[in-house]
Structure formats: C-alpha cells, structure tokens
C-alpha cells in the first residue's frame, strides 16, 4: 500500500483563467447578499479580467443575529455568475451539508474558513465528505490561532481523503497583541508553510488581515513581495452597504486601480528572506507603539486618580521600585541594564509629562 500524499507533496494549482506565472486573483464579496448584488459585482470583476469569483453563502458569525448568509438560494446566484461570465466560482464550506450542497451546485473551489480549520472534528467530517471528489479545488485558510501544525493537520486530513487540488490562504491570526490590523499577519507562519510545502499554492487574503479597505493595497504588495502565489480580495459593488465586512471591501473599480499599481517582482529567495525579516521588525515596532500608547493611557488614568485624591504626580519610592523590578526582568530577557534603564526612564518621563499636562489642562 502506498502512503497517502502529505501537504508537502502538493503541486501548484493551475487555473486556465490565470496567466501562467501570474498571481492568482480571486475576488468577490464577503457574502452573496442578493442575486442582483452578486451578478452586478461579478460582471464588473469579469470585465476587468478576474477569472475566479468568491462569495460567502453561509457566514460564520461571532454572535448570532448578524447576517448569516443567504444560504442555499445563493448557490443559484453563483451558478448564474458561472453561466453568464464563465468565471470559476468559490465559496466557504463549514459543514458536511455545505459540502454536499456546494458539490451538487457545481462550485469549482471550496474554501475552509479560519474557524473551521481550527476544529479537527469539523475538518475530518469535511474531508470524509470530499472523499472521491478529485475534481474540486479546496483552499484551507489558516486557523484563527497562530498554529502552523493545526493548519498543516487540516490539509493532511484532506490529502488523506485523496484531495490533491489543494492550496492555502493566509488571512492573519487572532492574537492578544494589539495591532493596526484586524488580524495579526505573523508573516513567518505562512513563510514556514512555504518552507514545508515548497510547491503548494499559498494565497494571501489582505482583506481579512487588514480589516480596513486602505490596508488592502499595502498588504497585497507585501504578499507579492514575499512571493505568495496570489490574492483573495473582497470586492462588493456597494461596500458601504455590505451586510458583512463592510469596512474592508473595495469596489471592483477600486480593485482595478489597486491591481494596476501592484508590482510583481521576480524575487529571489534572499529577497524573500530579507523582506520577511524586515516585516517582522515592522510588526514588532507596530506592537511596541501600540503597547506604549496603552501604557500612556493607563498613566493618564492614574494621573486623574492622583489629582482627585490630592496625591503628588511623582512618587520617588514607587519609581525606584519599578525601575529595579524592570532591570531584573530585562536582564532575564537578555537586555542590558543600561538599555533597560534608558528605555524605562524615557517612558517614565513621558508618563509624568502627560500627567502634568493633564493637570494644566484641567
């Protein structure tokens, strides 16, 4: 008996509608809301040369009561898109029933969302249902938590079921770190996946990483610079009135301009590696600034409390105690005491300045 394929052996995805070597672009609304909105958006995207249309039919909502997708009827709208434009159609599946309905409707590309990918039971059910369906392409979004093994495990379950038209989508992670983005990109994780599965198609979803439409272009450029194989971008004919993910969707026209401005470079591994490391530095700096801003806001709250209780702004004993504790912690983390001292002094100085400033303004 030969052993099953592993995600490591997966070959690149080819689509007749994508120029060979060119980035794979999948675009379409977060959700198919009405037949009109679905077709209107698809027609515009088709006219600008996009060959693969995405739209959510069943939407995983954090809390009940939000728009949960139009359900099975939306599959007919996707079929209409395919009939009229010839685009390939893609939707998210999260349960066995979704897979059955999507296969019956002739959906070309199924994707497994971040919440489902994180659940091995759900992944196994989906994989079992897909057994024997070699014609379908399956994309696996990364799990919500930054766990490469879980991501690879989800793909392994699909490989075990004989699915070889397989690809991955990086959509960022839910982490505790406050970030300018909706989801923390943690670029090293898809990069590790690339190392593990060198030929697998890995796409980037800048819409769900950024969470705001102005981040779609810069994140797409980073993704292309890091040699992702393509992009999945949310596009809606009327984003401001979208029923889900309104802030991050762009109109087809905006998408056209974004795509026209993106530069596809012929990168080498060295460029790739360097841009990854630089990206990690940028990510750390964003985090540092966000943490500093949070610290200052706590300082201002303390300032208010001191003022209300007639306490002095600077309390030398507390200051010395804090510095000493930080020097020990810094030392344990491999930071020199001179450096820790300088950084903590600068932070403390700014805290005091902000507290005094507050005093003046009141």
Contact set with ligand PEP (CB under 6 A): 30, 56, 60, 92, 113-114, 141, 171, 208
Residue linked to tokens 């992670």: 173
Q: CB-based contacts of 104: which residues, under 8 Å, 6+ apart?
A: none
The least distance separating ligand PEP from the CB of residue 249, rounded to whole angstroms, comes to 10
The least distance separating ligand PEP from the CB of residue 29, rounded to whole angstroms, comes to 9
Nearer to ligand PEP, 60 or 146 (CB): 60
> By C-alpha distance, which of 47, 69, 78 is closest to 244?
69
SS3 294: helix
Q: How far is CA 9 from the centre of its chain?
A: 25
Residue 162, binding choice from ligand PEP, Mn ion, none, Cβ under 5 to 8 Å by partner class: none
**Cα 103 from Cα 138, distance rounded (Å):** 12
The 10 Å CB-count burial string (b at 16+, else e) for 295-330 is ebeebeeebeebeeeeeeeeeeeeeeeeeeebbeeb
The least distance separating Mn ion from the CB of residue 62, rounded to whole angstroms, comes to 12
State the binding string over 248-287 for Mn ion (x if CB under 5 A, else -). ----------------------------------------
- DSSP character at residue 198: T
Stretch binding Mn ion (CB under 5 A), from 70-78, 184-192, 242-250, 310-318? 242-250
Judged by CB under 5 A, the residue of 225, 229, 245, 283 near Mn ion is: 245
Nearer to Mn ion, 91 or 275 (CB): 91
State the binding string over 143-162 for Mn ion (x if CB under 5 A, else -). --------------------
**Cα 210 from Cα 229, distance rounded (Å):** 19
DSSP per-residue codes, 154-188: HHHHHHHTT--SEEEEE--B--SS--SSSSB--TH
The least distance separating ligand PEP from the CB of residue 84, rounded to whole angstroms, comes to 23
Strand ranges, E, within the chain: 24-28, 52-54, 88-93, 109-112, 137-141, 166-170, 201-204, 230-234
Query: Which residues ranging from 8 to 37 are in contact with Mn ion (CB under 5 A)?
Result: 30
Nearer to Mn ion, 50 or 200 (CB): 50
Residue 194, binding choice from Mn ion, ligand PEP, none, Cβ under 5 to 8 Å by partner class: none
The least distance separating Mn ion from the CB of residue 244, rounded to whole angstroms, comes to 6
The least distance separating ligand PEP from the CB of residue 245, rounded to whole angstroms, comes to 6
């Amino acid at each position: 008996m030969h052993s099953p394929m592993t995600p490591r052996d997966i070959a690149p995805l080819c689509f007749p509608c994508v120029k060979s070597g060119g980035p794979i672009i999948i675009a379409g609304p977060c959700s198919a809301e009405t037949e009109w909105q679905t077709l209107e958006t698809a027609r515009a995207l088709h006219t600008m040369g996009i060959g693969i249309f995405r739209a959510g039919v069943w939407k995983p909502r954090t809390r009940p009561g939000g728009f949960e997708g139009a359900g099975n009827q939306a599959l007919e709208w996707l079929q209409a898109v395919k009939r009229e434009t010839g685009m390939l159609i893609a939707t998210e599946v999260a349960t066995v029933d979704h897979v059955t309905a999507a296969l019956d409707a002739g959906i070309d590309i199924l994707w497994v969302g971040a919440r489902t990918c994180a659940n091995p039971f759900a992944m196994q059910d989906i994989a079992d249902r897909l057994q024997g369906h070699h014609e379908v392409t399956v994309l696996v979004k990364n799990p919500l938590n930054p766990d490469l093994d879980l991501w690879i495990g989800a793909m392994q379950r699909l490989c075990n079921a004989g699915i070889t038209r397989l690809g991955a989508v990086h959509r960022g992670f839910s982490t505790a770190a406050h970030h300018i983005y909706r989801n923390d990109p943690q670029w090293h994780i898809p990069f590790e996946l690339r190392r593990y599965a060198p030929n697998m198609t890995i796409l980037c979803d800048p819409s769900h990483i950024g969470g705001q439409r102005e981040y779609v272009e810069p994140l797409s450029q980073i993704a292309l610079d890091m040699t992702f194989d393509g992009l999945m971008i949310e596009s809606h004919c009327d984003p401001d009135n979208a029923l889900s993910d309104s802030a991050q969707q762009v109109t087809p026209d905006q998408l056209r301009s974004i795509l026209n401005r993106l530069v596809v470079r012929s990168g080498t591994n060295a460029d790739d590696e360097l841009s990854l490391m630089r990206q990690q530095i940028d990510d750390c700096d964003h985090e540092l600034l966000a943490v500093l801003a949070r610290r200052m806001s706590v300082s201002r709250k303390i300032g208010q409390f001191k003022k209300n209780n007639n306490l002095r702004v600077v309390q030398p004993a507390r200051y010395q105690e804090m510095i000493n504790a930080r020097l020990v912690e810094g030392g344990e983390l491999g930071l020199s005491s001179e450096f820790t001292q300088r950084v903590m002094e600068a932070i403390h100085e700014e805290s005091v300045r902000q507290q005094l400033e507050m005093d003046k303004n009141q």
